Amino acid sequence: MCGICGIVYADRTRPADGRVVERMCGAIAHRGPDDQGLCVCGPAALGARRLSIIDLAGGRQPIHNEDDSIWIVLNGEIYNYPELTRSLAGRGHRFYTHSDTEAILHAYEEFGDDCVQRLNGMFAFAVWDSKRGRLFAARDRLGIKPLYYARHDGALLFGSELKAILAYPGFERRVDPAALNEYLSFEYVPTPRSIFQGIQKLPPGHALEYADGHVRVWQYWDVDLARSEGRRPQPLAEAEAELLEMLRESVRKEMISDVPIGVLLSGGIDSSAVAALVAEAAPGRVQTFSIAFDDPSFDESRYARLAADHLKTEHRELKLTPERMIELVPRIPEFLDEPLGDSSIVPTYLVSQFTRQHVKVALGGDGGDELFGGYSTFQAHRLMDYYERIVPAFARARIAPLIAGRMPVSFDNISLDFKVKRFVAGGGFPPVERHHRWLGSFTPEQKRQLLRPEAQAVDHDTYEIAWAHLDRCNARELDNQLLYCDMKLYLEGGMLPKVDRASMANSLEVRVPLLNHTLVEYVAGLPREFKLRGLTTKYILRRALRGIVPAEILKRGKKGFNMPVAKWLIGPLRPLAEEMLSAPRLNKEGYFDPAYVRSLMDEHLAGRRDNRKLLWTLLMFELWHERWM
């Protein structure tokens, strides 16, 4: 696991400056504290920061081929590299390391751009081919590892994080109005945009070529959910057995390491499944890590302990006090160089910090909700079908919002009034738009009040990116279309960057076996009724794990890794929020209307409305803006 960066000038007579790449490397040193490597090859320079996981002694990057004409830097892990290495050695390739990085390099020599099709792993890598004068870069199929790029000063710049590109001398920092517009609604900036004008993210499952001053990007993989539609019915018991074997195989692949590994155990179905299968593969030596909260409506530590006791793991638990969590909030932009409105970044960072004290690598349960339809929004869509058929239109438009608005406000985790109000507010919209209104923060109507005219993106539909993904989806059933959008948006834009930045800020590698592409492809082909049956989410997963994961965990509903933000904003976070969202600050920046922001704050403080998502989204942007602009 590493951080990578580099420069390639279009003018082949212009030598790259290694000192600039060293500066770019320095900006992402936290991603790889064990080593730094650099190569300067005429107009190209590649840099890497290394967190040593595979081939501790010999895997120093950048890595070159036999005649030094091709160089590579890699961020990630290739789980099938031993098999790939043996195959390539049999074809005559000579290896000087035992690393997964070198396996990609020789695969590129042998198969060209199609080398990515032979990789099983999480990765973002860049290859400089000096003979052909081209840079070839690629990102893994699901977008587990990040890759940013920009064209500037006659060059292509790239890096694992925005801050690597921002370290290039003279790079101008300007907020992209369209990206800001999307951030406010989605709580993250969807790919391919970044918050900065001129910097883009390479989409998951895509590759990039830079040659002769031209950038070409193409897709090499996509998830195929249409296979699940209209297929011959398969016995459920047979599918359960197949799924369990696929889960075992994914976990086994991702346990490859030359250092000890652990498991992040929240007590939910997904992380408990990963922990159980790791314990099955390596009995008696599994370390698990979890956190506990003081607030009982947010605390899930009992379930993590239940799973750990059942699996007989070496379990460690960190008790988080409100003071410790709130102390972290102002420092979030130090490791988060793009605004992210997900408050669970706080516990994710702290559990990563805690875990890193004991291991360098941890497996997590991320991705299960996107694979198996685990979010409560899927249940809500089904209920909305009944609601819109049974309740007359005038009642949905007038009476229901009135009743919901009069419900007492509770600041507990996923409280009843919070769910009812968001459900009612989603009525009357197309399912894909409704889905993101439920998941996200500001609606288009609210943004018209929030954004000043000069900050509003011209001719930009908030949900344009969601509609674009829907157009690319080859499935026709609504559940499948929503799963596809979740993989392309919420998973890749919000969930995976949160885990990557929080863990890498602590030099911890987190692997996500539920997103191994072989498992993803298998689950994508399962009938939708195996995933969501009635209102039961993750139906087949719950059944496949019977006897492996405690029954009490399998029967649980989705809780989420949430924070008591609503309570913090009227308590210990209030001074920070008042300062960052003050009228003088907002007037100086020119993005948001201070009067509207003040009204949101006053409503929340008075307990008239739960504005936690809106206020947290704004607070995270303001903290980011102060640090990076």
> Element (H or E) spanning 155, and its range?
strand 155-159
546-574 burial, b at 16+ Cβ within 10 Å, e below that, comes to: eebbbeebbebebbebbbbbbbbbbeebe
CB atoms within 10 A of CB 89: 13
Angle formed at CA 466 by CA 461 and CA 471, multiple of 5 degrees: 110
pLDDT score recorded for residue 413: 60
Of 29-33, 255-259, 505-509, the range with the lowest mean pLDDT is: 255-259
Of 187-196, 208-217, 376-385, the range with the lowest mean pLDDT is: 376-385
How do residues 541-592 score in pLDDT, each as one tens digit? 999 999 999 999 999 876 666 778 888 999 999 999 999 999 999 999 999 9
The DSSP bridge pattern shows strands 35-41 and 44-50 to be antiparallel
Burial class (CB within 10 angstroms; exposed 0-12, middle 13-18, buried 19+) of 90: exposed
How do residues 22-52 score in pLDDT, each as one tens digit? 999 999 999 998 889 999 999 999 999 988 7
Q: Is the dihedral of CA 388, 392, 393, 394 positive or negative?
A: negative
583, 338, 587: which is closest to 454 by C-alpha? Answer: 587
pLDDT score recorded for residue 426: 74
Q: Which residues are catalytic?
A: 2
**Diameter of the chain by CA atoms?**
75
pLDDT score recorded for residue 410: 58
How do residues 517-542 score in pLDDT, each as one tens digit? 999 999 999 998 999 898 899 999 99
pLDDT score recorded for residue 409: 59
